Amino acid sequence: MSTGAQADKTTGLAINRIASAGPARDQVCPHNTSISCASCRLNELCLPIALNKTEIHQLDEIVERNRPFKKGEHLYRQNDPFKSVYAVRAGSFKSYVLSDSGQGRVTGFYLPGEIIGMDGIASKHYANSIQALEHASICEIPFSQLEKLSHQLPNLQHHFFAIMGNEIAKDQQIHTLLCSYTAEERTASFLLGLSSRYARVALSPVRFLLPMTRGDIGEYLGLTVETVSRIFTALQRKGLISVKNREIEILDIDKLREIIGSH
């Protein structure tokens, strides 16, 4: 797989890499099941952060690199027994919950380098369903083995706790978003959040593809599909963004930040 824009098009996550995109290890195909934590371009975002070579090898011993997922396939479903957490290697996923009446609601999106499955730790059953938004691949980390290893490796334990803390903070942020923000503020906050997350994996923070639908975004932000489309159109008319189907280009990120500046 080639680097740069061609690779980004293949994964469906972005149009181009930022100028500082990483070293030669980026040339490794993210769907390659033989890749190791040490050679993965995401290892500074995932669990191996702050681990030395010996410790990374120990983590490699328990990580299972599964087959790629096709768009629409489920990683797991709500109420399935909890057994593992997962690191996204390529592509993207959405989480959603179903009410007793069968009504669905999107609860989050996961991009490369991010950890899925924390919702199952407390109750030993997954609280959400996880579905691939596009061709995607993951690293599976059996939680029982991760627990044992984290007791041996304080750096791993500390980083895992930090990831759990970030998940709690994200839940609090979305609660504030739904309770206190206007539709325009929610949409601006969502786009800025995606921008920063793409930047973390050396993808363009100002030009990217939305792997999720307008309906997914609306469910996540507590808005209708029509409202999401209307806000995108309004932001485009103001010259803040450019929208072409699922392609978003942020034209004035400072003014986009000003929309939520009072919060």
Q: Is 4 left (phi over 0), alpha (psi -120 to 50) or beta?
A: left
Domain 177-259 adopts which CATH fold?
Arc Repressor Mutant, subunit A (1.10.10)
Mean pLDDT lowest among 5-19, 65-79, 232-246: 5-19
Which of the given ranges, 154-158, 186-190, 259-263, has the highest pLDDT on average? Answer: 186-190
The number of angstroms, rounded, from the C-alpha of 12 to the middle of its chain's C-alpha atoms is 13
State the pLDDT confidence band at 28, using cuts at 50, 70 and 90: very low
Could you give the angle at the alpha carbon of 139 between the alpha carbons of 116 and 31, nearest 5°?
120
pLDDT of residue 18: 30
Please write the tens of the pLDDT for every residue from 201-233: 888 999 999 999 999 999 999 999 999 999 999
Identify the CA nearest to 105 among candidates 229, 226, 216. 216
Backbone Cα Rg of the chain: 19
Residue pair 217/210 in contact by the 8 Å Cβ criterion: yes
Helix (H, G, I), strand (E, B) or coil at 32: coil
Amino acid residing at 253:
I
Residue 52 has pLDDT above 80, yes or no: no
Identify the CA nearest to 183 among candidates 210, 221, 126. 221
Please write the tens of the pLDDT for every residue from 159-215: 788 888 877 777 777 877 778 899 999 999 999 999 999 998 888 999 999 999 999
pLDDT of residue 50: 58
Beta strands in 63-172 (DSSP E): 64-65, 74-76, 84-90, 93-98, 104-110, 115-116, 129-132, 137-142
Domain span(s) for CATH 1.10.10.10 in the chain: 177-259
Residue 138 has pLDDT above 90, yes or no: yes
More confident residue, 62 or 27: 62
pLDDT of residue 16: 38
Q: How confident is the prediction for the chain on average, in pLDDT?
A: 82
State the pLDDT confidence band at 29, using cuts at 50, 70 and 90: very low
State the pLDDT confidence band at 71, using cuts at 50, 70 and 90: very high
Buried-state track 169-206, b at ≥16 Cβ within 10 A, e below 16: eeeeebeebeeebebbbbbbbbbbebbebbeebbbbbb
Domain 31-153 adopts which CATH fold?
Jelly Rolls (2.60.120)
State the pLDDT confidence band at 146, using cuts at 50, 70 and 90: confident
For residue 189, CA distances in Å to 42, 49, 260 come to 25, 27, 7
State the pLDDT confidence band at 58, using cuts at 50, 70 and 90: confident
Residues in the chain, total: 263
Domain span(s) for CATH 2.60.120.10 in the chain: 31-153
**Per-residue pLDDT averaged across 84-99, rounded?**
94
The DSSP symbol for 82 reads P
More confident residue, 120 or 1: 120
Residue pair 149/85 in contact by the 8 Å Cβ criterion: no
pLDDT of residue 108: 94
